[in-house]
């Protein structure tokens, strides 16, 4: 199956070639034809499955086919975090460079005036986080009465972060007649309930259930005492030929500590988490993407918003308490057909978490039996 077979327009195909994408992922193959036919979608898909392109490409095509000279907002994409909103905005920019459509992204934590000016100058596609969107709606800057396409991305994460009331307030302002695309990595009873209130006869598409880890990711675990993890990290970075890695900790404080220690050892590292200013987070992410920063240390709340091409290694410096989180973490590597490596450092008190992970993924994780810190 090639992108040409999905009936995508020439400018979009050219943009895909430029990105080096030739074959659609399963979520793209399943979703794009239905979206082009105007159907609502309930998509169960994790980050890293090509979900953004699955909705961005058909929305750009449908909107280009019906140009609007008034520059009113016709598509709204709602994302839980700034990082994810920025990533979606980047994708719309890359895929829609020849479309003539304008898009912008709005999120909190930064001065709202530049965002207000851009919206007032007229945009076709708005990517937003719920809080800032509601702020600008209350100020009458953003009006949603002309929305034709509405995407709710990472709905499960929206609920986890307590956005349900905000989402309901936003939905109440949308036109009843619209096309809605709803994506979630997990399907709980709350997710089903929310989807039923906003979707009309949806097509259900599902890929990579949360229990399955990327097939191209090689996974191994180092058993090590808690106080020797830092030394083990240095050893692994020195001996395993790791040019670029995403390191996960459970806490913000832990992320800062690890990044500081690596910097002290002469390894270029930055931490990214919710307590960092928006500018610091963007700067760290940009440095990691352009490889001027070798190691990015992140907490789970930041993890789903990190999308880096050809990331070779993910290191679980601390094992997550929730097994599904492990799947999301290691899904940062082994993407778009490239291979990836996931290493986990497990101390005694984390052994139970590791057991839950192997049970969930139904796969044996190789134990590294010889290292200097056993």
According to DSSP, residue 173 is labeled T
Residue 47, helix vs strand vs coil? coil
| Whole-model pTM over 0.75 | no
| Residue 242 shares a structural domain with residue 159 | no
- Residue entry with tokens 């695309």: 181
- Take residue 347 and report the two structure tokens written for it: 């101390």
Give strand ranges (E) for 194-272. 203-206, 217-223, 245-248, 269-272
Residue 125, helix vs strand vs coil? strand
Report which secondary-structure segment, H or E, holds 17: helix 10-19
Residue 262's Cα: distance from chain center in Å? Answer: 26
Where among 184, 206, 228 does a domain terminate? 206
CA 202/CA 199 separation, integer angstroms: 6
Where among 206, 238, 258 does a domain terminate? 206
What CATH number has the domain bearing residue 260? Answer: 3.40.50.300
| Residue 227 shares a structural domain with residue 194 | no
- Take residue 124 and report the two structure tokens written for it: 């076709």
Identify any residues that bridge with 309 across adjacent strands, giving them in sequence order: none
Nearest to 51 by CA among 67, 70, 30: 30
Phi, psi of 137 (to 5 degrees): -70, -40
Structural domain of 262: 217-367
pLDDT tens sequence for the chain (374 residues): 789 899 999 999 999 888 778 889 889 999 999 999 999 999 988 766 788 999 999 999 999 998 777 789 999 999 998 888 988 999 999 999 889 899 999 999 889 999 999 999 999 999 999 999 999 999 999 999 999 999 999 998 888 788 999 999 999 999 999 999 999 987 888 899 999 999 999 999 988 655 666 667 899 999 999 999 999 999 999 998 898 999 999 888 999 999 999 999 999 999 988 677 778 888 898 899 889 999 999 987 666 557 777 788 999 999 988 787 888 888 888 766 667 899 999 999 999 999 989 988 888 899 999 999 98
Please give, one letter per residue, the 3-state secondary structure of 68-79.
CCCCCCCEEEEC
Where among 147, 180, 206 does a domain terminate? 206
């Amino acid at each position: 199956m090639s992108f040409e077979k999905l009936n995508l327009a020439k400018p979009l195909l050219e943009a895909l070639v430029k990105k080096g994408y030739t074959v659609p992922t399963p979520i793209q193959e399943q979703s794009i034809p239905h979206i082009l036919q105007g159907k609502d979608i309930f998509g169960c898909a994790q980050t890293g499955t090509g979900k953004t392109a699955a909705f961005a490409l058909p929305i750009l095509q449908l909107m280009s086919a019906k140009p609007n000279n008034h520059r009113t907002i016709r598509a709204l994409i709602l994302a839980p975090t700034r990082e994810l909103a920025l990533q979606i905005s980047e994708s719309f920019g890359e895929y829609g460079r020849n479309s003539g459509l304008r898009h912008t992204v709005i999120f909190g934590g930064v001065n709202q005036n530049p965002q207000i000016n851009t919206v007032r100058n007229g945009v076709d596609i708005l990517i937003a986080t719920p809080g800032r969107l509601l702020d600008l709606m209350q100020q009458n800057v953003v009006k949603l009465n002309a929305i034709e396409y509405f995407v709710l991305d990472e709905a499960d994460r929206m609920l986890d972060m307590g956005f349900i009331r905000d989402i309901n307030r936003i939905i109440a302002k949308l036109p009843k007649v619209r096309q809605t695309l709803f994506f979630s990595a997990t399907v709980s009873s709350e997710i089903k309930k929310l989807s039923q209130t906003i979707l009309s006869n949806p097509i259900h598409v599902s890929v990579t259930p949360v229990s399955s880890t990327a097939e191209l990711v090689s996974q191994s675990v180092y058993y090590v005492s808690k106080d020797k993890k830092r030394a083990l990290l240095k050893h692994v970075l020195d001996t395993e030929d790791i040019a670029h890695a995403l390191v996960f900790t459970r806490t913000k404080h832990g992320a800062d500590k690890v990044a500081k220690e690596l910097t002290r050892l002469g390894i270029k590292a930055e931490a990214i988490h919710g307590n960092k200013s928006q500018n610091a987070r963007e700067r760290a992410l940009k440095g990691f993407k352009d490889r001027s920063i070798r190691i990015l240390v992140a907490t789970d709340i930041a993890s789903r918003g990190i999308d880096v091409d050809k990331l070779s290694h993910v290191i679980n410096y601390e094992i997550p308490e929730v097994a599904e989180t492990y799947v999301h973490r290691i899904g940062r590597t082994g993407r778009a057909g490239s291979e990836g490596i996931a290493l986990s450092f497990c101390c005694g008190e984390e052994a139970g978490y590791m057991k839950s992970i192997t049970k969930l993924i139904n796969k044996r994780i190789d134990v590294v039996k010889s290292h200097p810190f056993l």
